A and B are shown apart, each in its own frame.
Chain A
């Protein structure tokens, strides 16, 4: 099992460009999440999904969109990147509330 795989691992964007971060899990988990982590800070929830076809806003959703068309994939989109979105992005999944999350290894995004 690969667990949670994030693509790409690194990316540099220019202000105003768009991109999509892909999160894929092979554990048949129902719930998936996108977090961002800024230097010296804890993780902050951007968006999450409680099942295929569903999405919901987290703590810091502005500037991001998400889609969960397939159960195993959770996409995070930036329509018009801004320097404030420079961060490390982590995807996570879990089967139900009683279980711990499995996190991916992160995507390091720099917006210049």
Chain B
């Protein structure tokens, strides 16, 4: 599975959009990009995933570049409750397992 690179930490003002980048330059054609988040001490929470097209759900939007080497998770109106570690994961594993890195700590400030 392709490796990912994320910033260690980011800050965002409450009410503003949070844009979390992820580089995955070695991604293969059949690998998905998944995003999860982990709020302090809780189990990780699935946010969104995509293959090549941009995706949107009630939580966030996922923008994948045309060459698929990077992506951005967008939280359109960040709240204090969005403070968490955000994990970008790339996976195609035939055995369906995901490999978690250290993620990005997003801190939403009042």
Interface, chain A (partner B; CB < 8 A): 4, 31, 33, 35, 40-45, 48, 50, 56, 58-59, 88, 90, 92, 94, 96-98, 100-106
Contact A101 B98 (CB under 8 A): yes
Question: When chains A and B are docked, how far (Å) is the Cα of A104 from the Cα of B95?
Answer: 20
The complex places the Cα of A41 from the Cα of B48 at a distance, in Å, of: 22
Residues in B lying within 8 Å of A, measured CB to CB:
32, 34, 36, 41-49, 87, 91-93, 95-103
CA distance A40 to B101 in the complex (A): 11
- From B32, B46, B102, A41 is in contact (CB under 8 Å) with B102
Write out the residue numbers on chain A whose beta carbons fall within 8 Å of the beta carbon of B32.
97-98
Cβ–Cβ contact B46 & A100, under 8 A: yes
Alpha-carbon distance A97/B48, docked complex (angstroms): 13
Bound complex: CA A90 to CA B101 (Å):
15
Q: Are A45 and B97 in contact (CB under 8 A)?
A: yes
* B99 & A101 in contact (Cβ 8 Å cutoff): no
Can you report 25 A-B residue pairs in the complex whose CB atoms are below 8 A from each other? A35-B100, A42-B102, A45-B97, A45-B99, A48-B97, A50-B95, A50-B96, A56-B95, A58-B97, A88-B41, A90-B43, A92-B44, A96-B96, A97-B92, A98-B32, A100-B36, A100-B46, A100-B47, A100-B48, A100-B49, A101-B46, A101-B98, A103-B44, A103-B45, A105-B42
Check B43 against A105 for contact (C-beta < 8 Å).
yes
Per the bound structure, the CA–CA distance linking A37 and B87 in Å amounts to 14
Q: Which residues of A contact B99 (CB under 8 A)?
A: 45, 59
A65 vs chain B, min Cβ distance (A): 18
Instruction: For the complex, give the distance between the alpha carbons of A88 and B41 in Å.
Output: 9
- Which residues of the partner chain B approach A44 to less than 8 Å between Cβ atoms? 100
Partner of A43, one of B42, B49, B100: B100
Which residues of A are found within 8 Å of B42, using beta-carbon distances?
105-106
B100 surroundings in chain A (CB, below 8 A) = 35, 42-44
Partner of A48, one of B43, B49, B95: B95
List of B residues within 8 angstroms of A4 by Cβ: 43
Of all chain B residues, which has the CB nearest A104?
A: B43
